[in-house]
Structure 1
Amino acid sequence: MADSTSNNLDRQAARALQVAQRVHAIEPFRVMEMLKAAGELKRSGIDVIGMSVGEPDFTAPDMVAAAAMDAIRAGATQYTDALGLPALREAIASHYQRACGLAVDPRRVVVTAGASAGLLLACAALVAEGDQVLMPDPCYPCNRHFVSAFGGAPVLVPSSSEERYQLTADHVAANWNERTRGVIVASPSNPTGTTMTVQQLQGMLAAVRARGGFAIVDEIYQGLSYDSAPASALAFDDGVITVNSFSKYFSMTGWRLGWLVVPEALVPVFEKLAQNLFICPSTIAQHAALACFRDDAIEVYEQRRLEFKRRRDFLVPQLRELGFSVPVMPDGAFYVYADISQVAHPASGDSAAFSMAVLNQAHVAIVPGDDFGFAAPTRHVRLSYATAYQRLEEAVARLARIVGD
C-alpha cells in the first residue's frame, strides 16, 4: 500500500514539473554555448580572442556612469511609470529628430527592460496562438523564439546575399497565407550586418500593409551605420513598431534598457502589458540614459562608431584573403557573416566543427551559422568585430596559421 501511494505521488510530481510544450520549440542559444567553451579555455590560462558575442568592448562613457551614481545618491531608485521616465521618452523622441530628421511624439515611446523585453511585449500584444510570422533566414535566433513563446509559428524565409539577406516584398507575397499575421525584420541585421535599402524597406512595408499585417522592425544597430545615414522604418509607415536599445550604439549592454516606438492607438495596450510583465525598466539605468543624449556623449559615441568602421574595413578584406567568402559588405552593426566552404581547412564543410576547431587550434571564438536559421547554416560562420583593433590583427594572424596553404 505504501509503495502504491509513493508511486502515485511520484507520478503526480512528474506531471507537476512537466514543462509547457512551447518550451520544446525554443532551442539553446549557441552563441552563449560558444562563450561558455571559450571561458573554459580562458580559465585554463589560454589567451582566447573573443569574436563571438555581440557586445561592444566599449562601456558606458564617464558622463553616463556619473549620471547613474548621481541617481543612486539622490535616492532616485524607486519605480517609474511602466512606460518609462517622461524625460527619457522625450529625449528619445528628440534623438530621432537629430539622428533621422523624424518628428516622433514622445507619447509613442515605450521604454523597456532591454530590446528583448520590447520584442516580448510586441509579440505578447500581436501574436496569437497559431499565427505565422515571417522573418528572413538568416536572422537573430531569439526573434523566432519570442514568437514561439506566445504560441506563434515563426516562418523563416531563405534570403540570399543578392537580397542583402533581408526580407523583401517578393518574399512577403510568396509566403503570406491565411495564417500569416506579420513580419519581424532587423536593419542592420544580426548576423549579417546588412541594412535594408530604402527601396527594400518601403516595398516590404507596403506589401505587409496591403495584407493587413503588422511589421516589427528591430533597429538596435541603427546607430552603428557606416556607409550611409540611417533610415528608420518610422519614416515610411506610421503603423510600424520599431525596437531600439541602449546596448549597442550606446554601449550599455548590461544595463538592460531599450525602447519601442508604437502606433499611438496601441500605447494603452503596451502600457497594460508592461505594468503586468515588467512593472517598469530599471530606474537607475533610465536616469543614466538621459546623459546619453548630451552633446559630449554623442561625440564619444560617434568616435566609437568610426572605430567600428575602421575595424570592419580591416577585417573583411583580411577574411577574403584567407578564403572566407563575404559576398556583401556589412554596412552596419559589428558582424561579418562569412561562407567557409572554400576555406582551406579540413572542417570547412561543417561550421560547428570549424568553429570549434578555430577555438581549439587558433584560440579565436567565432559562432557557427546554425544559430541563425536553416538556410545553409553549415557553410556560414558569424564573426564579431566588437573587440579591439589590435586583437583583430592578432586573430587574423592566428586564423592564417590554421587555414593557410
Structure 2
Amino acid sequence: MNETTGLQPFYAMEINALARGLEAEGRSVCHLEVGEPDAPPAPRVRDAVRDVLERAQKYTHFAGLPALREGLARYYAEQHKVAVAPDSIVVTMGSSSGFILGFHGAFGPGATIAVTRPGYPAYVNGLVGMGFRTVEIPLSAANGWRLSAAEIEAAHARTPFDGLLLASPANPTGAALSRPQLAEIVATCARLGVRFISDEIYHGLDYRGPSVSALELGRDAIVINSFSKYYCMTGWRIGWMVVPDDLLRRTQILQQNLFISAPTLSQVAAIAALDERDYYEAQKAHYAENRLLLGQGLRALGLDAAEGDGAFYTYADVGRFTNDSLRFCRDLLQQAGVAATPGVDFDRTNGGRFVRFSYAGSRATIEQALERMAGFLRR
C-alpha cells in the first residue's frame, strides 16, 4: 500500500496481468482470479450491435438512450414490483462511473463513507483517490459475512459517517441479505441520517432466493447496478444507477461533465440484453453447479470454504497454509498455474489468511485448478 495516499494495487488485476504474461510465454493458466463470466453475451445482444455498426455512433442523451432507461424501468416493475421513472435512471460506464457519480453527487468534499471489510477493493481505493474518508466495518465468517443493523449503529457511534456503501450479494464472500435484514439496514441508515448506497451488481446471481433491491424498501437510497456480471458484459463497460429525486439534477450535471454519456454501442447491446433472461438464467445454472464443485473441492483440500449465497466467488480461509495470501497466490500461479486473488485485496487487516476463487469460468477449468492445487498444497 502507498502509505502517503492510502491507495494499494487492485491485486485481482495484478495477478491477472501476471497470468497473461505467463500465457504469452506458453504456460497454461487456470483463471479463478477475476470475476468475469466465461460465456459471451446472448446471441441477440451481438446481433443488435452488428445491426447498428454501419450507422453513425454519436453521443446519446447524457442520461442514456430513452429505450434503455424505459427497459430498465420495466425491469424494476417485473423483477422487483416497484415503479421507477425512466428519468430517475442514469446510464453509466459500468458500475465504476456510477460510484464516482454517486459519491460526488451525494457528498461534499471530505465526507466519510462506511464500507464493509472484507469488501470490493475499489470501494476504499476509489473513495481515497477522490478525497473522501472511509470507515471500515469488520465482518466475520461466524455470521456468514453479513452486515447487521446493530453493527452499523455501533460503528456510527464510534466514528460518525455520512454514507454507507453495501453490496448484496457481496464481493468477495457472496453473502446476501434477506429482505428483513436489508429493511433493517435501510431503516437504521434513515434514522442515523446516513445516505445508503446499494451496490446491486450481482443481482440475479442469488442461489437461495430472489434478489432484494433497496428500491423495494424506499426511494432514498442510491442504487447502482451493471450489465457486467449477470449479463456477461464486463468489457462493454455499461451500467446504470437509480438516483433519489434530491440528488438527481446534480448527478445528471456531473454525468454531462465527467462522462458526457455511456458508449452508444454498449447501450444498444444493453437494450437487447434485458430481453434475454432465459439465456442468462442458463448461465446462472452453470455457476450454481460450479459453486458446489469448487466449494466441495476446496474443502477436500483442507481449506475452510463456504459457498456463499450469491455472486460467483468462494472466499476461502487458507490460514492452515499461510498468513501471507499475496505470496501464496503468486506462488500458486508460478508453481501450479492457478490464478486466484489474495484476501489482502478485500481486507487489509485480516486478508492475509484468505483467498478468493471465482467460479464464473468453465467446469473444466475448476476441475483442472483443483487438481493442480492438490499438488501445490502437498508440496
User: Scaled by the length of structure 2, what TM-score is found?
Assistant: 0.95
Contact kept, 8 Å, 2:307 with 2:313, in 1: the verdict is no
Cα distance, 1:102–1:83 mapped onto 2, change above 3 Å: same
Aligned-partner SS, 2:115 = strand
What amino acid sits opposite 1:319 in the alignment? L
Structure 2 runs not aligned, ≥5 long: none
Decide whether the 8 Å contact of 1:241 with 1:260 is kept in 2: yes
3-state SS, counterpart of residue 103 of structure 1: coil
Task: Tell me if structure 2 keeps the 8 A contact 1:164–1:196.
Answer: no
- Asked whether the 8 Å contact 2:5–2:128 carries over to 1, the reply is no
SS at match of 1:230: coil
Give the Å deviation of 1:147: 1.8
1:216 aligned to which of 191, 197, 200: 197
2: distance between equivalents of 1:358 and 1:82? 45
2:124 corresponds to: 144
* Aligned match of 1:233: 214
Deviations 1:53-108 (A, max 9, x none): 11111112221111112122233x11111110111001011112222222222221
CA–CA distance in 1 between the matches of 2:102 and 2:129? 12
Counterpart CA distance in 2 for 1:265 and 1:70 is: 38
The aligned residue for residue 387 of structure 1 is 361
Q: 1:256 aligns with which of 203, 220, 237?
A: 237
Name the CA distance, whole Å, in 1 between partners of 2:126 and 2:184: 25
Indicate whether 1:78 and 2:58 are aligned. yes
- The answer for the alignment partner of 1:164 in structure 2 is 144
The aligned counterpart of 1:338 is 316
Larger RCO, structure (CA 8 Å, separation 6 or more) = 2
- The match for 1:377 is 351
Return the offset for 1:23.
8.1
SS in 2 for 1:128: coil
CA apart distance, 1:229:
1.1
Does the 8 Å contact 1:22/1:149 carry over to 2? Answer: no
Native 8 Å contact 1:322 1:404 kept in 2: no
Q: How does 1:30-179 map to 2 (within 5 A)?
A: 30-75=11-56, 77-176=57-156, 179=160
How far 1:37 moved relative to its partner?
1.3
Which entry has the higher C-alpha Rg, 1 or 2? 1
- Distance (Å, rounded) in 1 between the aligned partners of 2:352 and 2:69: 43
- Offset at residue 180 of structure 1 (A): 1.2
Amino acid of the structure 1 residue aligned with 2:22: L
Structure 2 CA distance, aligned partners of 1:236 and 1:302? Answer: 25
Normalising by structure 1, what TM-score?
Answer: 0.89
Contact 1:123 1:146 in 2 (8 A): no
Per-residue deviation at 1:127?
2.7
Quote how far apart the aligned CAs of 1:404 are.
Answer: 4.1
- Provide the rounded CA distance (Å) in 2 between the counterparts of 1:22 and 1:361: 31
| Offset at residue 388 of structure 1 (A) | 0.6
Percent sequence identity is: 37
Distance in 2 separating the partners of 1:329 and 1:291: 31
Offset of 1:222 from its aligned partner? 0.7
* Gap change, CA 1:365 and 1:22, over 3 Å in 2: closer
- Residue aligned with 2:304, SS: coil
Could you list the structure 1 runs, at least 4 aligned residues long, displaced by more than 6 angstroms after superposition.
Answer: none
Corresponding position of 2:281: 302
Structure 1 residue 319 corresponds to structure 2 residue 293: no
In structure 1, what residue type is equivalent to 2:167?
A: A
* 2:161 counterpart of 1:180: yes
Deviates more, 1:300-309 or 1:97-106: 97-106
Give the distance between the partners of 1:292 and 1:23, measured in 2 at CA: 43
Once the two structures are TM-superposed, the CA of residue 206 in structure 1 deviates from its matched residue by 1.1
Give CA deviations for 1:202-254 in whole Å, capped at 9, x if unaligned. 11111111011101010001111112111111111210111100111111111
Q: Secondary structure at the residue paired with 2:255?
A: helix
Contact 2:291 2:307 in 1 (8 A): no
CA contact 1:130–1:179 (8 Å) conserved in 2: no
